[in-house]
Amino acid sequence: MPNPRISLAQQKKLYELAAVGVAKDEVAARVGVSPRTVYTYLATLDRVKRPAVEYDARYLSRDERYEIARLHDAGWSLRRIAARLNRAPSTISRELHRNHDPRSGHYLPERAHTQAWLRQRRPKPSKLATHPELRAQVQAMLDKRFSPGQIAGRLRLEYPDDGAMRVSHESIYQSLYVYPRGELTRELKAHLRRGRDSRKPRGQRVNKHDRIKNIVSIHDRPEEVAGRLVPGHHEGDLIKGSTASRSAVGTIVERHSGYVTLLHLPDGFTADKVADAVVEQMSALPDWFAKSLTWDRGTEMARHEDITARTGIQVYFADPYSPHQRPSNENTNGLLREYLPKSTDLSTFTRADLDHIAAELNDRPRKRLGYHTPNEILAKLLLEHIDKGVATTP
């Protein structure tokens, strides 16, 4: 308390009168204290005048703060005060610790309420705008086409003990869309994954393909595939270019690590060409990393039995109209559209181009991997198999 000779009720009335502009001598007369006491009390509050503000119920009210002061001065424990006010004990603890007077050691309810209001003032400068080093890191990761969510997670991984080098994905989005800031906005938006300002629902795909002989259903896959705990199980599909070009690129994603492999199909995507490309790419992987492949029901996989005979990889087929059964591949195809836009001729992309794109994707941190990259997960798996004496090449 600023002055132990006046009660909390007197303090509250004193402040209310002073806040609406009543002269200090008149305040003293109404409250029943000396003018010097009024001057001393207001000086303790740093003479801050604040308008009346209605807070959300989740915040402590002014009356609650006075009750905290009364009960705390009466010797109540934090938990007992919290129970009385129906608040969490941690809320009471933080309130008392943050707003005590370092000179007297007392909790000052009026000053606490004023300071709470000042701390909530908006708008505040964004963290990206006020921390050049953090902004540079965010920019560098967006240059590598990391999403805001991946950036936030990766920063926590790379700077575990430096709170100044962390920012939430929402803060990054707000810096771009809610509080645009000139060059920052232009630079960062240029590298956002989807290249658009808002999310849009995807249109429903209609499967008009003919049936494929001797299909092995996704429901016949071993149980170990569904959990993503065992490496070696992949999902695949085609992403197609413009109708006129009749071009496509094959995409294969390993479920455990998220490791991406791209199929170069410069001469079209007939069943023969897709089968040859799948065999070439999958044969380059260690046997323990190439056990199964789940595809949709496109006719480009009509030679699935030939793939199995040549590689030993069992091919499974998802149900019609069920892209959610291949979630890793669907997500990757969305990422790839940043590099391989719709309605373009994908046959212009060389093998080297596709290898570069796959390398970038495999070097992006993933949330489900604890913000490690697919390359890092694969390297760890290779070391584990080397230690076990298992061959790492076919």
Mean pLDDT over 113-142 rounds to 79
Structure tokens belonging to residue 348? 């212009």
pLDDT score of 185 more than 60: no
CA torsion, points 222, 226, 232, 236, in degrees to nearest 10? 110
Which stretches of 255-373 are DSSP H helices?
Answer: 271-283, 304-311, 327-336, 351-362
Determine the pLDDT at residue 205: 46
- d(Cα 287, Cα 391) in Å, to the nearest integer? 8
pLDDT at 273: 95
Query: Which of 349, 153, 163, 177 is CA-nearest to residue 250?
Result: 349
Query: Percentage of residues in the chain with pLDDT exceeding 90?
Result: 47
pLDDT digits (tens, 9 = 90+) for 193-205: 555 544 444 444 4
The residue among 285, 218, 224 whose CA lies nearest residue 252 is: 285
Task: Judge whether 37 and 28 are in contact, CB under 8 Å.
Answer: yes
4, 20, 28, 43 from 33: Cα distances, Å: 12, 18, 5, 15
Query: Which of the given ranges, 7-11, 50-54, 225-229, has the highest pLDDT on average?
Result: 225-229
Q: How do beta strands 233-240 and 292-295 pair?
A: parallel
Of 235, 232, 237, 223, whose CA–CA distance to 256 is shortest? 232
| Rounded average pLDDT over 105-117 | 80
Domain 218-387 has CATH 3.30.420.10: yes
pLDDT tens-digit profile of 223-276? Answer: 888 888 999 999 999 999 988 888 999 999 999 999 999 999 998 999 999 999
Which three-class secondary structure state does DSSP give residue 53?
A: coil
Q: How confident is the model at residue 277 (pLDDT cuts 50, 70, 90)?
A: very high
Q: Which two tokens stand for residue 127?
A: 């963290």
Q: Taken in order 309, 312, 313, 314, is the CA torsion positive or negative? A: positive
- pLDDT category of residue 326 using cuts at 50, 70 and 90: very high
Q: CA-to-CA distance for 75 and 12, rounded, in angstroms?
A: 21
Q: Choose the weakest-confidence range: 5-9, 180-184, 360-364.
A: 180-184
Taking alpha carbons only, the member of 316, 320, 326, 318 closest to residue 293 is 316
* φ, ψ (nearest 5 deg) of residue 33: -130, 170
pLDDT at 173 over 60: yes
pLDDT score for 179: 46
pLDDT, the chain, mean: 83
How confident is the model at residue 209, as a pLDDT? Answer: 46
Res. 191: pLDDT tops 70: no
* pLDDT (mean) for 46-69: 69
In this structure, of 98-102, 121-125, 331-335, the range with the lowest mean pLDDT score is 121-125
The string of pLDDT tens digits covering residues 86-105 is 999 999 999 998 888 777 77
- Looking at residue 284, its pLDDT comes to 92
pLDDT at residue number 45: 58
Label residue 55 by pLDDT band (50, 70, 90). Answer: low
Please tell me the predicted confidence (pLDDT) of residue 234: 97
Domain boundaries, the chain: 8-119, 127-189, 218-387
Q: How far is CA 160 from CA 138, 156, 380, in A?
A: 16, 5, 21
Check pLDDT > 90 for residue 283: yes
Cis peptide before 102 (omega within 30 of 0): no
Query: Mean pLDDT, to the nearest integer, of 330-359?
Result: 93
pLDDT score of 198: 46
CB 265 within 8 A of CB 353: no
| pLDDT score of 177 | 57
